Structure 1
Amino acid sequence: MNSVYKNIENLSKDNRETAFKIVAKQILLDFSNNKFRSQEELAKKCYVSNATITQFSKAALCTGYRELRLRLKIEYDNNFLNDQKLSMKKISISEYYVSFENWLSENWNFLEELIKTMIERKQVFLFPSFQTHYSAIFLSDVLEKHDLNVNIFNLEKDLKKLQNIDWTKKVVLLILTGRDNESLKLIYDYMKKANSKVFVICSQNWNFKDDKNVNIMYLDNQISSRNYVDRNFWLINLYKFLEEILIKRCD
């Protein structure tokens, strides 16, 4: 049986801003928050009719919205709840930040190279996954305060611009977490061919260890992998740490 999430994700990638695309993006957003709306709630949220939600469900290869919603809940439980239960141990604030500090220490070479390259090239392109877009905005604000030119690349609107940019003079940072990363993987492959300086922060689901030409930092701590809120919080802490280093390097 095909993944319903995958079918919905494919429907969200339509180049046109169709009703199906709007519904798909809302369902994916709700899914990341462990929220499963009723058909009436979803229709109202997306400004479409109940009939459109039914048609969308059939396009996602379900008999109707009731089946789609049920299968989504099952997929969420199978993929996230078990991992979450393993991570829900009580942990003190000191333990939390000791773990964070260890993570930074293990990836110090990555951070040094990232900061050095950003200072040298001055132009940074951020390619966040859907669920880490919030923390990417924070990073953009941090870097711009230190006179770096930052762009958060919009895959839906800016994809055609890729070939018009000289990537050899840019710093590229991809953040690969969650399940919406097929387009980002294509960006990664393109940047390698364009001889760009590529940095990747990613979950353990990705394997770049055999690629010697790309700088990789893995989100490998259980505290940061419970859900998208934890990952954004973890990344914001990382970006704040980068700012402290930039203050010292740029002064």
Structure 2
Amino acid sequence: MKSLFYRLIIFLDTASEADTNYNIAWYMAHNFSKVAKMGISQLAKECYVSPATISRFCRALGYENYAHLKQECSSFASDSKKFNNLINVPLNVMKDKPQACTEYYSKQVCHAVANLTHYLDWNVIDKVLELIHDSDSVAFFGTQFSHSAALHFQTDLLMLEKFTMAYMETQRQIECARSLDRNSVAIIMTVNGFYLKSNTKVLQYLKKAHCKVVLITNNPGIDIGIDVDYTIILGDSKQRKTGKHTLLTTVELMSLRYYSLYYPDVQENIV
């Protein structure tokens, strides 16, 4: 469900207010419960567009059709639990003892990050960094926090004179995947594996491309349905709620490792 909110926010943050899709996204963001009960014609009327425009908007968000999107809205409307506790902290502790909650969660994060020394395979990471360095076409795929980490890595690499792609919008990610070939590198970041549930088109195009595929995840048992050349494991499935921290730490370590291996005159510049 959170992926729908994320996609709507992307539209609202990046599209022009004159864009028809912006107006649809704005209406939905303010009327989730209503949309859950609306037919496509009624929503089109409320947004002053045609049903065909609503269908195109749904596909732009990564949904097959309006019924698929409406189903997610209905799930939200009928769920009394509107917010997922993704940091594994008891809600009653946060309400009554925020200081104790801070200590509790901090210990979880420190434990997960410390365990990276046992999980990160630097032989694999070095091969992935070599792929990134040698390929002219490198693309990151992820959503929500994983995409933020991909942007962080993308920025670091650009500072090191390596251009990569990391598109936010679902449709742009699909178009990017479709443009790759066997000489390209696709890096999928998905802490818990949720990316796979709503981005099957991206995976289908990656499979057709026969490109090199790298998976970075905190879910060792994940099966993404296509061949993976290299997998970077961040921890075990029991630590998935702290996976965002191990992902960001790993990205920063990989950036520094890339710098040490490939940046010109590194011995003079590294600090």
Query: TM-score, with normalisation over the residues of structure 1?
Result: 0.63
Name the counterpart of 1:56.
Answer: 35
Name the counterpart of 2:257.
Answer: 245
1:101 has 2:113 as partner = no
- Please list, as runs of the form range in 1=range in 2, the aligned pairs for 1:1-16 lying within 5 A after superposition: 5=1
Change in CA separation of 1:134 and 1:57 when aligned onto 2, cut-off 3 Å: same
Deviation at 1:201, TM superposition (A): 1.3
Q: Mind listing any 5+ residue stretches in structure 1 that lack a counterpart?
A: 27-42, 44-51
Deviation at 1:89, TM superposition (A): 6.9
Q: How many residues align?
A: 208
- Please list, as runs of the form range in 1=range in 2, the aligned pairs for 1:1-251 lying within 5 A after superposition: 5=1, 17=21, 21-22=25-26, 43=30, 52-59=31-38, 60=70, 68-69=76-77, 71-73=79-81, 76=84, 84=89, 91=107, 95-104=111-120, 107-158=121-172, 159-160=174-175, 162-163=177-178, 165-177=179-191, 179-204=194-219, 207-208=222-223, 213-221=228-236, 225-226=240-241, 230-250=242-262, 251=266
Instruction: Give CA deviations for 1:138-165 in whole Å, capped at 9, x if unaligned.
Output: 10111112221111134434234544x3
1:73 aligns to what SS in structure 2?
A: coil
Rounded Cα–Cα distance in structure 2 between residues aligned with 1:129 and 1:120: 26
2:107 aligns to what SS in structure 1?
A: coil
> Does the CA-based 8 Å contact 1:129-1:177 persist in structure 2?
no
Change in CA separation of 1:245 and 1:133 when aligned onto 2, cut-off 3 Å: same
Change in CA separation of 1:186 and 1:223 when aligned onto 2, cut-off 3 Å: same
Query: TM-score, with normalisation over the residues of structure 2?
Result: 0.59
Taking only aligned residues, the RMSD between alpha carbons, in angstroms, comes to 4.1
Rounded Cα–Cα distance in structure 2 between residues aligned with 1:112 and 1:17: 42
1:200 aligns to what SS in structure 2?
A: strand
1:17 aligns to what SS in structure 2?
A: helix
Change in CA separation of 1:210 and 1:68 when aligned onto 2, cut-off 3 Å: closer
Q: What amino acid maps onto 1:225 in structure 2?
A: R
Deviation at 1:222, TM superposition (A): 6.4
> Does the CA-based 8 Å contact 1:7-1:61 persist in structure 2?
no
Change in CA separation of 1:210 and 1:128 when aligned onto 2, cut-off 3 Å: closer
Instruction: Give CA deviations for 1:15-48 in whole Å, capped at 9, x if unaligned.
Output: x726554466x5xxxxxxxxxxxxxxxx3xxxxx
Q: Mind listing any 5+ residue stretches in structure 2 that lack a counterpart?
A: 12-19, 39-69, 91-103, 267-271
Deviation at 1:124, TM superposition (A): 1.7
